[in-house]
Amino acid sequence: MNGIQQRTEQDRAERARANEGLPTLGFDSVTPYDEYVGTTTLHRLQHTVTDAPEELAFLVTTQVMELYFGLLRSEWRLAQRQLDDDDADAAILTIKRTVRHFEALNAAWASLSWLTPAQFNHFRDALGEASGFQSAAYRHVEFLLGNKSEALIRPHRRNPEAYAELVEALSRPSLYDSVLAFLARNGHDVPKEAIERDFAADYQPDPRVEAVWAEVYGGPHAPLAEALTDLAEQFSDWRYRHLMAVRRSMGAKPGSGGSSGLTWLERSMRREIFPELWTARTLM
């Protein structure tokens, strides 16, 4: 990044005139694009462990998903800060942006939709116990959405940085907690028990919060409710596509990371995020 020189609109116009409309072809070192994106580093991160031609697509798709997990984590932290500042408009824009991120993330499953059991078996054994279940970034995403479990941070104890981040995320408010606190500060009758609680514990749906959401839909904060609903829907889509990818490539075999595989994912899908946003619709 240190080698990138900033350019103004005037600089770009002058360069275009000097180049007679053609792209710049000569640079003193690597191209500014390579330096900014880190392409050399990115393309050196794919280390397959077999000669199976299908493995590279599996690895690249997984790495792309990891990048999106990190992006979502950053965006939702920003949305929480915006909500803490009572800037609902900014938070809504941020959350809506993450809905688009999720659309791209979910589309990444298409890169594995062709994977048959025979093709997966070409390299699966060589992966050992490596499993997406062990993704610290995905676990952080789930914590930010309110799906928390102290037991699920244990695999990361030997990774001090990831473990510390997950311990902090476990005890901090989720995005949903931040939303409920925002609503409480802005005149909605959110019960005290819903916002002053042990944030590391599972969130328990409350009919009083359900009534708050029914009320929200009749007021100025309805766009916030809909943005969260769009996000919840995309997350549900993510989990469903994950389930179908596993079902297609390995059926009901045990998972690589020690889980029951398909039945574990089916059980995980039943953990709803933002629960009262859905049940409140019955009251409207």
CATH number at residue 277: 1.20.58.480
Binding residues for substrate: 124
What confidence score (pLDDT) does residue 1 get? Answer: 47
Binding residues: 124, 242
Binding residues for heme: 242
Residue 67 phi/psi, 5-degree rounding, is: -60, -40
- Kind and range of the H or E element at 39? helix 39-42
Residue 279: CB atoms within 10 Å: 15
- Give the model's confidence band at 2: pLDDT under 50 very low, under 70 low, under 90 confident, else very high: low
For residue 113, tell me if it sits in a domain: yes
- Please tell me whether residues 33 and 58 are part of one structural domain: no
- Please tell me whether residues 199 and 238 are part of one structural domain: yes
- Please tell me whether residues 37 and 110 are part of one structural domain: no
- Please tell me whether residues 32 and 63 are part of one structural domain: no
- Please tell me whether residues 27 and 123 are part of one structural domain: no
User: Do residues 48 and 63 touch, judged by C-beta distance below 8 A?
Assistant: no
pLDDT at 109 exceeding the cut of 80:
yes
* Per-residue model confidence as pLDDT tens digits over 3-40: 678 889 998 899 889 988 888 888 888 888 899 999 99
Tokens 């824009």, located at residue: 93
For residue 4, tell me if it sits in a domain: no
pLDDT at 144 exceeding the cut of 70:
yes
- Give the model's confidence band at 279: pLDDT under 50 very low, under 70 low, under 90 confident, else very high: very high
- Please tell me whether residues 171 and 33 are part of one structural domain: no
- Please tell me whether residues 149 and 25 are part of one structural domain: no
For residue 48, tell me if it sits in a domain: no
- Please tell me whether residues 151 and 233 are part of one structural domain: yes
Range of the domain at 221: 54-283
Average pLDDT over residues 94-101: 98
* Per-residue model confidence as pLDDT tens digits over 46-83: 999 999 999 999 999 999 999 999 999 999 999 999 99
Count of structural domains within the chain: 2
For residue 2, tell me if it sits in a domain: no
Q: Which amino acid is at 73?
A: R
pTM (predicted TM-score)? 0.91
For residue 172, tell me if it sits in a domain: yes
HEC states along 103-162?
HHHHHHHHHHCCCCHHHHHCCCHHHCCCCHHHCHHHHHHHHHCCCCCHHHHHHHCCCHHH
- Please tell me whether residues 24 and 159 are part of one structural domain: no
- Please tell me whether residues 171 and 249 are part of one structural domain: yes
- Please tell me whether residues 184 and 59 are part of one structural domain: yes
* Per-residue model confidence as pLDDT tens digits over 242-270: 888 888 887 777 666 656 567 767 777 67
- Please tell me whether residues 26 and 116 are part of one structural domain: no
With a pLDDT cut of 70, the percent of the chain lying above it is 95
What confidence score (pLDDT) does residue 275 get? Answer: 95
